[in-house]
A and B are shown apart, each in its own frame.
Chain A
Amino acid sequence: MITGAFFLLALFVLPMWNITLEAPQYPDSIGMDIWINKITDHNPNDIKNINLMNHYVGMKPIPEHMREFEIFPWVIGVMSFIGVAIGFIGKKNLYLAWFIVMIILGAAGMYDFYLWEYDYGHNLDPTAAIKIPGQGYQPPLIGRKEILNFTAISRPMSGAYFLFAGILMSLFAYFISKGEELKYEKEEAI
């Protein structure tokens, strides 16, 4: 349980998500890495070049600041702290509770990500140079999607894997301690 809770902290040093754009004129592709508190170039200058491309269709530049960047680190930090604490307390039901809260938070995070992507892909500048009626530019939540001549690929990165692993470990911790309890109960019964 404690290890799982610590795994959350990996998000502070590893990127969580990545969106990559592939197109013939970018033989090396361009992309951005999403962290819990920032968005960075996958290769130097990628965001600048994504913004340059996108401004023609009226998409807003990739934000340097988002409200989420202030909230996420606290949420992760607090949840990690609570996880460690309940690890020491060692109550199995608390493990389960932590797991459920994490799942809810994770789902909320993905939903928030979707909302941002929707806004990013649909809320276009009316004075944009290129307008294609009905064309949305929303990147996929996860997986591949063709957007005009670009292929957008959205996928979790190492930080997210640590997050999943951490959450799963809390569930394991719950089952293991439940198993031990059963064993204990059995022994007592004998």
Chain B
Amino acid sequence: MNTKKIQILSVVFFLALCSCTRAEKENTSELTLPDNTPKGQASVVDNESDKNILQVAIGSSDHSTLVAAVQAAEIEHVLVNAGPLTVFAPVNQAFADLPEGTVSNLLKPENKQQLANILTLHAAPGSYNKEALIKSAERGRKLYMATGDYLEIRVTGEDVYVGGAKVIATVPTSNGIINVVDRVILPPGS
């Protein structure tokens, strides 16, 4: 680290400030056109707390499709809510396994609601790790999802399946549990 580097950094700092000022200016001229897509709680800046479901998903390279879908559907704030929520998070391969064009179609703005429904079907109110899922299955309970649908829990040997998707890993987060699954769960009857 030498003085030159400091100079470069200072320039970066200056540029950042400039861009900030410019952004503010633009913003002032647009006062009458408020931003209609607030991210809500998802935009809270907090790098110290334990990571929540959204932050964990963003940090996982295996879930970039899921994160893109969540952002397209604008339901990020649901995943940072106090919860507790259990999210069944399909890996990228699961999305790739869907019929050709399905994902790109769902990502279109006009299909936002449909995409939101599919994603919400992957969330259950409450905390369900693998043990809890097995216990529910033993008691013959179905899993109530945030859409109002019920998904069947099936246990085969050591494997647990929810709505036909196999749980391949469980990650605890600050506001609930992520169960990584190998398939995208599709609405019953679709």
State if A and B touch, Cβ cutoff 8 Å.
no
